[in-house]
Structure 1
Amino acid sequence: MNIGLIGLGNMGGRIAKRLMERGHQLCVYDVNSDLLEDFRTLGAKTTDSLPDLARSCYYVMTVLPNADVVKSVVLEKEGLITGMEPGNVLIDITSSVPDVTTEVGESLDQRGIRMLDAPVSGGLKRAEEGELAVMAGGDEKTFSEVLPLLNDIGSNITHVGELGAGHTIKVLNNLVSATTFAITAEALSIGIKKGLSPSKMLEVINHSTGRNNSSENKFPQHVLTRKFDVGFAMDLMCKDLTIATDIIRNEKMPAFVSDTVYQLWQYAQSKSEKGADHSVYAKLIEEMSGLEIKD
């Protein structure tokens, strides 16, 4: 199957390689010419023209930094919309803003072009293994059509509702993830202060009701080891938290915990080096408590 993919960064590059491993013919685009050359050597077709990519591929995936970039890549004068034909499908994997997604989708729909939002969760290792969780929004018939393609990059594929629903649940999931990471860091630091071993605490938590992805994976593999390399940037986590809190405010929903979590992570971002992994949030708790979360 001929597929176009735009955005060869940490996640997009791994998804692209996974699709090639599954036998798909790939045409790729990125503003980074070095990344394009890397994929050319791997056997992908490369292009520096978005309309040309759109004309050659029935399905086009975007894996981009944010909603503004997606809107520009799709709708600007030299964007995908000028090359896509009626019936073609845009699959946006970006962690994006739901309202922008529906705006882009409406513009494409006027030309008979279909769109799904299908953000992913699971990290870089699961992307390499094709084990991502995919949460898709959009027309159910279109979702069923592209499901075999999504199954090549993910092991847990869920259709969650209309266009924009995928991007909504993605940022809400990351709001929960950020919350569990923050409270796990605090709990471990308190226990260490009282003389407990963090690995023993995690063993108990992971066999008890406090178990969460941070306690099971992030802390034992990336914090206690001092690697801080989960593979999801602090900037991206804070971007998703901003989108989530904007949704909460627009819908006038209660946000006692959400607002606090948002503020904590914004503060952690201000204390972190540019490009830092989001797991360095634990270092903020360490600094404030005067200890290290390690055995």
Structure 2
Amino acid sequence: MTTDMHLGFVGIGRMGAPMVERLLNAGYKVTIHDTQPTALASLAAKGASIAASPKAVADAAATVLVSLPTPDIVLAVALGDEGLALGKAVRTVVDLSTSGSQAARALAEGLARHGIESIDCPVSGGVAGAGKGTLALMVSGPRASFEALQPVLGVLGKSVHVGEKPGMAQTMKVINNLISVTALSVTSELLVMGVKAGLDPDIMLRIINAGSGRSNASEDKIPRFVLTRKFDFGFALGLSAKDVRLCLEESEQLGMKLRVGDAARRLLNDARDKFGNDADMTEIIRYVEEEVGVEVRGKAAGAK
């Protein structure tokens, strides 16, 4: 699988583009496809080959990676007209998307009918991690296939084998994402509360991060993207809402009610509905600010 230095990659978005660039820099030949031609030009200039369809990618490479926004798009790219399943060369499809366990099982079943193996490999670490090669990759599929993929996955970050069954890595990913967005949501709410009470947000974060309330949200997202008022973490509210929905749907299928997760979903959906799907996920705090009439502005943002 990985002795072949020719890879395919479908989905050249904010995450896909830096991953492809890293693969090119590592010496892989990469054939790419995306529905937006402008996304392909810079990578073509760096040596990537452009294919006209997912099938054309799968005609060129035995291992194809996909990084796509929704489960429906993943399944259409893999199993639809001109999809990967119709390719002549492809033997393994690695899904880097957050598509949920149900879609992962459907993907594995559909590809298996064409003699193609599906590997779930959702990633965590954001656009910065994709560029630096520090992503956390959760992988489910046959252990031997996981081991064979290590040269490729090692270019992108650190991988952990979650289990053999399709969908197990997707379950792990949506759990991780709900924990992350819940931490961001509650920290955002309470920072707004503190500012409303007259506290300085920079001092609040210093205390939170020195104590038991610290999280990735308080240590990274809020100081870098909220207190600065940049709101450019690089992950959209609409995609975050999709990830949380997938987790809540899976918990319901398991007969479990996620009370805290459901509260985070409501706040996230409210912010998405107000600011739009493309707004940055760190703008959750703006929804709470506007309700209360204060702004959580740190010294790094300068005077208003």
- Normalising by structure 2, we get a TM-score of 0.93
**Structure-2 residue corresponding to 1:14:** 18
Are the counterparts in 1 of residues 68 and 97 from structure 2 also a CA contact under 8 Å?
yes
Are the counterparts in 2 of residues 114 and 142 from structure 1 also a CA contact under 8 Å?
no
Deviation at 1:193, TM superposition (A): 2.4
**Structure-1 residue corresponding to 2:302:** none
**Structure-2 residue corresponding to 1:125:** 128
Q: Which moved more, 1:275-284 or 1:158-167?
A: 158-167
**Structure-1 residue corresponding to 2:35:** 31
Deviation at 1:221, TM superposition (A): 0.5
The residue correspondences of 1:63-142 to structure 2 (distance < 5 A) are 63-85=67-89, 88-142=91-145
Deviation at 1:52, TM superposition (A): 2.5
Letter of the 1:208 partner, please give it.
G
Provide the aligned length of Structure 1 versus Structure 2. 293
Are the counterparts in 1 of residues 60 and 89 from structure 2 also a CA contact under 8 Å?
no
1:268 counterpart SS class: helix
Output the CA distance in 2 between the equivalents of 1:271 and 1:54. Answer: 40
Letter of the 1:67 partner, please give it.
P
**Structure-1 residue corresponding to 2:162:** 160
Letter of the 1:35 partner, please give it.
A
Q: In the alignment, is residue 58 of structure 1 matched against residue 62 of structure 2?
A: yes
Letter of the 1:158 partner, please give it.
V
Output the CA distance in 2 between the equivalents of 1:21 and 1:243. Answer: 34
Q: How many percent of aligned residue pairs carry the same amino acid?
A: 35
Are the counterparts in 1 of residues 236 and 277 from structure 2 also a CA contact under 8 Å?
no
Are the counterparts in 1 of residues 237 and 276 from structure 2 also a CA contact under 8 Å?
no
Output the CA distance in 1 between the equivalents of 2:41 and 2:155. Answer: 24
The correspondence for 2:249, drawn from 241, 246, 250, is 246
Output the CA distance in 2 between the equivalents of 1:221 and 1:78. Answer: 42
Deviation at 1:198, TM superposition (A): 1.0
Output the CA distance in 2 between the equivalents of 1:67 and 1:20. Answer: 27
Output the CA distance in 2 between the equivalents of 1:140 and 1:38. Answer: 35
Letter of the 2:45 partner, please give it.
T
2:15 counterpart SS class: helix
Output the CA distance in 2 between the equivalents of 1:83 and 1:110. Answer: 13
Letter of the 2:133 partner, please give it.
G
The residue correspondences of 1:186-205 to structure 2 (distance < 5 A) are 186-205=189-208
Letter of the 1:294 partner, please give it.
R
- Cα deviation, 1:4-38, whole Å, max 9, x if unaligned, reads 00010111111111111111111001111222233
Letter of the 1:78 partner, please give it.
E
The residue correspondences of 1:206-245 to structure 2 (distance < 5 A) are 206-245=209-248
1:90 counterpart SS class: strand
Moved over 6 A (4+): none
